[in-house]
A and B are shown apart, each in its own frame.
Chain A
Amino acid sequence: MSAILSIEGVTVALPPGADRPHALDAVTLELRAGEILCVVGESGSGKSMTASAVMRLLPPRVGITAGRILFEGKDLATATEVEMRAIRGAGIAMIFQEPMTALNPLRPVGDQIGEMFSIHTDLSADQIRARTLALLEEVRIPDPKLAMRAYPHELSGGQRQRAMIAMALALSPRVLIADEPTTALDVTTQAQILSLIRDLQRRLGTGVLFITHDFGVVAEIADRVAVMQHGVVVEQGEAAAVLNAPQHPYTKALIAAVPPLAAPPPRPFSDEAILKLEGVSKTYRTGGFLGRNKRVTRAVRDVSLALPRGGTLGIVGESGSGKSTLARCIMRLIKPDAGAIRLDGTDLATQSPSQHRASAKRMQMVFQDPYASLNPRRRVGELVAQGPIIHGTPRNTALARAKELFALVGLDPAATDRYPHEFSGGQRQRIGIARALALEPEVLVADEPVSALDVSVQAQVLRLLAELRERLGLSIVLITHDLRVAVQVCDLVAVMKEGEVVESGPIGRVFEAPEHPYTRSLLAAVPGRGFQAAR
């Protein structure tokens, strides 16, 4: 089949002073009708910039300096703004990563979809309404009539992404650019959205340029794959060829970084539990003034778990399953309504604030977002030393200890004088771990420690955690939504759904022979399972 969109030697220059001269360097890609071309790469590889270049929606002071982008016989690189506007939406449509922020919060969803027709066609208001409703039915949104009038905040993440897809497909574009459309979604929702995209693409014969960082998704959906690194396409070819016999070392490294879903052989750990949760419950009540619109959310229901000394307990679940609330209960950042949390036999839940400060040393937390969890105005050495200083260590001793910790987590000890923004995401997460270790805790609670990181960096950070566990005899509670992450480091796993633990046990047993239907559906939804099995 012939190409409907061909990108020929496109170079995009970054403004002077950026970390590299070109965002894209002579990128050549070809998208044929009715195929899904996955563009894969880590952050900063230029994959999203490629999409922006095609749409000619580049950031200010960034422009195409060489090459052609041919779409239906027209060169988009030199098309006028008016010509581009006619193509955007109608000829080439786009869906984005964050369906919450990609929709205008102040206008109903149906209105925003209908806008596609009012810009590009002469349909009457009634016809537009009918078409919008038909579109929402086509993307299988529950209760399309209601969804039409709903505002974005009234829909779930998956429903919003369905609405975005309906909007993008409104005018049956020849090309659909999907920029990480499922990254922000839960694994089961992701599986549904991926199958929806593939379905619609097959039926309408649309060419899809699918941008992702996740090789699991690639294996699930791609016909052909292009791998990008530092603005250059390093490898492209048929999906099966690239996935099973990668040629370029970068592709090999990326694929190797995708962990297999099978658990490693079980490690020995002690039978004695260092941390025990007994019937922990937490209920949120919102509203309630004058007893109106009261809403009760049972975030954690009667959870009983045990963390063996030196072991790692994974708590997995989708968003809203209560796993983060449970982590905060364990850290006593919030007070559970009922139940006991025993650290070495002492119940933390009923401690007084002063007792709690003393036991806080023994349990430390690593947070999800390495960008937001470090104070940008303070030197990283001080951030790491802060905890011990508060607990009475002399300042100089604490700062010297911070340097040792930096070496321990694989950072240059001389870097303690720098500020957080001078580090990459993976390095910042290492700083976060160093900060947690500064108080020499016995238990580390890590809430989604790697979900904001690229795959290759994820693997490094997880390896570091496993290593520290051996060397320092740490016990770890790892909260994650990603089953692949859990399987790499956890000894035990607990699957949470709607605040309850539906299944728990040794990870090998739970993942190989899941008992609960929810665990089975979670495992089935992991993208690229078949690809993993084939390796």
Chain B
Amino acid sequence: MLALAGRRLAASIPSLLIILVGMFLLLQLAPGDTVDALMAQMGGGGDAQLMAELRAFYGLDLSVPARLLNYLWRLVQLDLGFSAIYGKPVATVILERLPATLFLMTASLSFAFFFGLLFGVIAARNVNRWPDSVISTLGLVFYATPSFWFGLMAIVLFSVHLQWLPAGGMESIGEGFTGIHRVLDIAAHFVLPTLTLGLIFLAIYLRIMRASMLEVLTLDFVRTARAKGLDETRVITRHVLRNAMLPMVTLIGLQAGTMLGGSVVVESVFSLPGLGRLAYEAVVQRDLNTLLGIVFISALLVIFVNFCVDLLYARLDPRIGKETGG
């Protein structure tokens, strides 16, 4: 099992390299660089002398291959470089923003997975009856609605009209909450973003779960379980659920990347200080180092999630791991 895990990790190194090199070269196509953005921030004024000095200082005067090699060499030493815009090491900038994104992703994923599972099971148990129709229709509505619109409407309703929940940010600044109050305050700030990001995935999970439940329910061992005298609830919990969950688990890994992308939109709508917004700002400011750092961390995150999913899958399905262990 550990050997399998090690091999999976080793196999992800080439993909990581391809992502980074591709991203680096792609960004060379964008007009302007960090120095242009810095000068623009300082109020324009094209002092060619200063710009050339700055470029030399940041190593931007070298050729593209040299800069790429430089970057990769520093990366091997676990150095993500220095952000000219933020005036801090990229690692520090990213670490500041990472918790919000991680928290948002974990919360949305758990929400989507749990309720997708629940509603999928309910829909499959009542297939073609009214609970199934209601759940499937709502699922389709959530899936078809753009998340930014959903987020904006949620702000209008819950924050502006009802004033139940805060409209944005990660916590109430200036209130000086501590301990449990602070935790509750942060949780309240995350309710709407989590729902907004999670609903689309909930819709996907519930459809997959419903289909896979219906398929598993027709299998022979379900008939065996019924012939043993198990009641329907136990047939579902002991025999059907775990088998039906396998496709869902695969999907989590595949969608970790999509979810990271979705969080850009949601973080912008709810002005959360997360990785998504940082990436957006880095693009606008041509902050190449920060952007590559984010790409690197995101890729690591997705690879890590997929790795966990693989391990989980091997735990759930005894046929995997032993047979394909070679």
Q: Which of A's residues lie within 8 Å of B, judged by CB? A: 55, 57, 85-90, 93-94, 96, 98, 101-107, 115-116, 119-120, 151, 153, 164, 167, 286-290, 292-295
Contact = CB atoms under 8 A, between A and B. Distances in A.
Nearest to B319: A153
Given A85-B231, A116-B228, A101 B220 contact: yes
11 contacts: A103-B221, A104-B221, A104-B224, A106-B316, A115-B228, A115-B230, A151-B318, A153-B319, A167-B224, A288-B326, A294-B326
A104 B326 contact: no
B153 to A, nearest CB: 41
Contact of A287 (B227, B239, B326): B326
B223 interface: yes
A107 B239 CA distance: 8
B229 A87 contact: yes
Contacts of A55: 226-227
A78 to B, nearest CB: 18
B230 A85 contact: yes
A103 B242 contact: no
B224 A102 contact: yes
Nearest to A52: B223
B221 A119 contact: no
A106 B317 contact: yes
Nearest to A55: B227
A292 B3 contact: yes
Contact of A106 (B220, B226, B243): B243
Given A293-B326, A294-B326, A102 B229 contact: no
A90 B164 CA distance: 56
B226 A88 contact: yes
Nearest to B231: A85
Contacts of A292: 3, 325-326
B219 interface: yes
Contact of A151 (B3, B239, B319): B319
Nearest to B3: A292
B238 interface: yes
A162 to B, nearest CB: 15
The interface centre, meaning the residue of B227, B230, B231 with most chain A CB atoms within 10 A of its CB, is B227
B228 A119 contact: yes
A84 B165 CA distance: 52
Given A88-B226, A93-B227, A102 B326 contact: no
Given A106-B318, A153-B323, A292-B3, 7 more contacts: A55-B226, A86-B229, A94-B224, A102-B221, A287-B326, A288-B326, A290-B7
Contacts of A287: 325-326
Contacts of B224: 94, 96, 102-104, 164, 167
Contact of B238 (A85, A88, A115, A164): A115
In terms of DSSP, what is the predominant structure of the interface of chain B? helix
A527 B48 CA distance: 97
B225 interface: yes
Contacts of A293: 325-326
Interface string B225-268: 11111110010001100110000000000000000000000000
Nearest to B323: A153
Contacts of A104: 221, 224-225, 239, 243
A115 B242 CA distance: 16
Nearest to B228: A89
A105 B221 contact: yes
A96 B220 contact: yes
A127 to B, nearest CB: 18
A106 B249 CA distance: 15
B319 A89 contact: no
Given A115-B238, A287-B325, A293-B326, A101 B229 contact: no
| A-B CB proximity, top 5 nearest | A287-B326, A293-B326, A89-B229, A88-B229, A101-B220
A194 to B, nearest CB: 21
Contacts of B316: 106
Nearest to B241: A106
A94 B317 contact: no
Nearest to A84: B229
Nearest to A289: B326
Contacts of B318: 105-106, 151, 153
B219 to A, nearest CB: 6
A86 B225 CA distance: 13
B12 to A, nearest CB: 16
A337 B218 CA distance: 42
Nearest to B221: A104
A154 to B, nearest CB: 8
A105 B231 CA distance: 20
Contacts of B229: 85-90, 119-120
A286 B324 CA distance: 9
Nearest to B230: A119
Interface string B310-323: 00000011110001
B130 to A, nearest CB: 17
A102 B223 contact: yes
A82 to B, nearest CB: 8
Given A105-B221, A106-B318, A153-B319, A89 B326 contact: no
The interface centre, meaning the residue of B228, B234, B238, B325 with most chain A CB atoms within 10 A of its CB, is B228
B213 to A, nearest CB: 15
Nearest to B226: A57
A16 B223 CA distance: 24
B326 A167 contact: no
Given A57-B223, A89-B229, A96-B223, A105 B243 contact: yes
Contact of B326 (A90, A96, A105, A286): A286
B216 to A, nearest CB: 10
Contacts of A96: 220, 223-224
A167 B228 contact: yes
Interface in B195-232: 219-221, 223-231
